[in-house]
Structure 1
Amino acid sequence: MTLRIIPATLRDLSYIAANLRPQDRAEIDCQLDHWSPALLALIALQGFAWVAELDGNPEAGFGAAEQRSGLWIAWSWGTRRMKRCVPGITAHFHAVLGPEVAARGAWRVEARALAANELALRWLGRLGATQRCLLPAYGRNGEDFFLYDWTREGWNHVSLSKTAGAETSAADADHRRQGRAGSRGSLAG
């Protein structure tokens, strides 16, 4: 299995968005009233955006976009094979994304996750984000979210070894039940 992190394209992000894993589809559905894979891809291209590719197939998109001077929003979503990409995404987050955002003058980077998305919550914690608060009824149908952030004072002190446990367990769990990527039988991936 070959993993590559490459600059995002509209084509790759649209493919990923059309084949989202159920957790990511649920999170996006309750934040956007009307969306399509192409629209989600266009929104994602508004800042730094990369794609994690497994064996030549785009499986996850991630990045960050500036909301206003000093405030950035981090995002990620993918197909059912995204879990296999977590180690590479995490390494890229620490080696490239964090330094790029910091170099652009970020004071704060935020991420929101659906409260029911336990994998995302654990991964954000292991990426060094601080869980700040519950956002009751943040979703358009009353779904609860959690707000996480990294601030300039704290993001350079996250150990890469802190993230290893979530990556390994996520990759192992996904590997046991995932077939070939690329099936377009349903929009849920």
Structure 2
Amino acid sequence: MPTSIIPATLRDLSYIAANLRPEDRAEIDCQLDGWSPALLALTALQGFAYVAELDGNPEAGFGAAEQRSGLWIAWSWGTRRMKRCVPEITRFFRAVLGPQVAARGAWRVEARAFAENELALRWLDRLGATRRCRLAGYGRNGEDFFLYDWTRTSNLGESWNHVSLSETAGTEAAAAGADCAGQGRAGAGSGTSR
């Protein structure tokens, strides 16, 4: 089953959001009041947003959005078939998304994960993120989360941290090709992060 990464569209993200795997639905439910698949999809389109397709069907959305100068929030969520897309998303994160964000001057990229979402916690570790702290009572009903980050000065893991600004000049041009919709120009936005 081939997995491909494409620029996100409202249609694809809405489909994924309407068919979330239980772990992602629980994580989103305890962070957002009164959300809908369309609203989650619209929010996710801020910044860089991508979709992982499995056999041509959208199964996972992921990306990063700038919160303020130098601070970005990474996010991802998907359907029950998302697990099959994780290897390709991981490769894309390291090869394209991380360098894209670094090229935009990010000093810090944060992700928050529901403390009970073991898959997300393991994946963030594999992506080279640093677990900073437990966010006790972060969820609407007192659920605990963990805060992860990547920083430009960190020496942990194989991630965008090791890409200098001078090296990203060519990467930004390559990423623009993967970013046909001109994403990343919208400015600040928020997304459910992982």
What TM-score do the two structures reach when normalised by structure 2?
Answer: 0.80
Counterparts of 2:157 and 2:129, CA distance in 1:
11
**Which residue does the alignment assign to 2:54?**
54
Indicate the RMSD between aligned Cα atoms, in angstroms: 1.1
**Which residue does the alignment assign to 1:146?**
146
> How far 1:157 sits from its partner (Å)?
4.9
Counterparts of 2:156 and 2:37, CA distance in 1:
34
**Which residue does the alignment assign to 1:37?**
37
**Which residue does the alignment assign to 2:113?**
113
Sequence identity (%)? 84
Higher relative contact order (CA 8 A, sep 6+): 2
Count of equivalent residues:
159
Counterparts of 1:105 and 1:156, CA distance in 2:
19
What TM-score do the two structures reach when normalised by structure 1?
Answer: 0.82
**Which residue does the alignment assign to 1:9?**
9
> How far 1:158 sits from its partner (Å)?
1.1
Counterparts of 1:55 and 1:122, CA distance in 2:
25
Counterparts of 2:125 and 2:55, CA distance in 1:
28
Matches for 1:40-189 after TM superposition, within 5 Å: 40-154=40-154, 157-158=157-158
Provide, for residues 4-55 of structure 1, a one-character-per-residue CA deviation record: whole Å limited to 9, x for no partner: 1000000000000000000000000000011000000000001100000000
Is the Cα–Cα contact under 8 Å of residues 4 and 54 in structure 2 kept in the other structure? yes
Secondary structure of 1:17's counterpart equals helix
Is the Cα–Cα contact under 8 Å of residues 3 and 85 in structure 1 kept in the other structure? yes
Q: Counterpart of 2:139 in structure 1: which amino acid?
A: G
Counterparts of 1:38 and 1:157, CA distance in 2:
35
Is the Cα–Cα contact under 8 Å of residues 128 and 155 in structure 1 kept in the other structure? no
Structure 2: runs of 5+ lacking an equivalent:
160-194
**Which residue does the alignment assign to 2:187?**
none
Is the Cα–Cα contact under 8 Å of residues 49 and 62 in structure 2 kept in the other structure? yes
Secondary structure of 2:86's counterpart equals helix
**Which residue does the alignment assign to 2:19?**
19
Structure 1: runs of 5+ lacking an equivalent:
160-189
Counterparts of 2:147 and 2:49, CA distance in 1:
21
Is the Cα–Cα contact under 8 Å of residues 59 and 79 in structure 2 kept in the other structure? yes
In structure 2, the CA distance between the partners of 1:146 and 1:157, relative to structure 1 (3 Å rule), is closer
Is the Cα–Cα contact under 8 Å of residues 3 and 55 in structure 1 kept in the other structure? yes
In structure 2, the CA distance between the partners of 1:157 and 1:115, relative to structure 1 (3 Å rule), is closer
